Amino acid sequence: MNSIEEKLWNYIDGTCLPDEQKAIAVLIEQDEVYQKKYNELLQLNTEFAAMELDEPSMAFTYNIMETIRTENARQPLKAAIDKRIITGIAAFFVVSLAVLLIYVLSAVNWSAGSGFKMPQELNVTQIKVTHISNYFTGPVVKGFLFFDVVMGLFLMDNYLRRKNVAKQR
């Protein structure tokens, strides 16, 4: 069975059932022992509620935010890059390579080989071979190559960084 004090604390906290609450209220009104104890506990309750909270140092928030900022700065670039950007770059390469392939394939004269007849006098010196540099003169192709080089360097940097991190561990 609950002690008077326990009942009264439950009454003060409002954690007892409505019927119990009414019964205790009546007891406080009529019973002097209950009334005295109730007033004592009520005063204690007010004192406990008035307890003061401690204050941390002035730099408390600053220290936390600095730690968070430092942690965020240390995060590898990979984590900061949106996956959609990577997908976009991949899509660009796929399309570019497809366009280049179609362009090269369309430039080939497929019918040139059909009905091939060996010339009676094969004159090798007369065969005109297009120099490879002719294919790399257009600004679009140059730009494409430049982009390739940059991306290559980026991937190499990424690879070396990972290797470095693995070594440090």
Partner 1 sequence: MQSKLSDIELIEQTLGGNQSAYADLVKRHQRFVFTLALRFAKGREDAEEIAQDCFIKAYRSLSSFQQQSKFSTWLYSIVYTTAMTFLRKKRVDTASIDDDESYIQIESKPSGYDEYNVENKSRSYYLNQAIEQLLPDDATIITMFYKGEQSLEEIAQAMGIEANTVKVKLFRARQRLKERLERNLKHEVNELI
Distances (CA, A) of 36 to 12, 33, 43, 59, 153: 14, 5, 11, 47, 84
CA dist., res. 162 & res. 147, Å (int) = 23
Among 18, 48, 110, 167, binds partner 1 (CB under 8 A): 48
3 state SS of 15: coil
15 part of the interface to partner 1, by CB under 8 A: yes
* Residue 32 C-beta: closest distance to partner 1, Å: 21
20 part of the interface to partner 1, by CB under 8 A: no
Among the listed ranges 1-9, 117-125, 128-136, 157-165, the one in contact with partner 1 (CB under 8 A) is: 1-9
Query: Which residues, numbered 51-90, are part of the site for partner 1 (CB under 8 A)?
Result: 51-57, 60-61, 63-65, 67-69, 71
37 part of the interface to partner 1, by CB under 8 A: no
CB nearer partner 1, residue 6 or residue 29: 6
Question: How many residues form the binding site for partner 1 (CB under 8 A)?
Answer: 25
Contacts within 8 Å (CB) and 24+ apart, 100-104: 100/141, 100/144
49 part of the interface to partner 1, by CB under 8 A: yes
CA dist., res. 120 & res. 104, Å (int) = 31
Residue 13, burial from CB neighbour count under 10 angstroms (0-12, 13-18, 19+): exposed
Among the listed ranges 50-58, 107-115, 125-133, 154-162, the one in contact with partner 1 (CB under 8 A) is: 50-58
Other CB atoms closer than 10 Å to residue 157's CB: what's the count? 11
The footprint of partner 1 (CB under 8 A) covers: 5-6, 9, 15, 44, 47-57, 60-61, 63-65, 67-69, 71
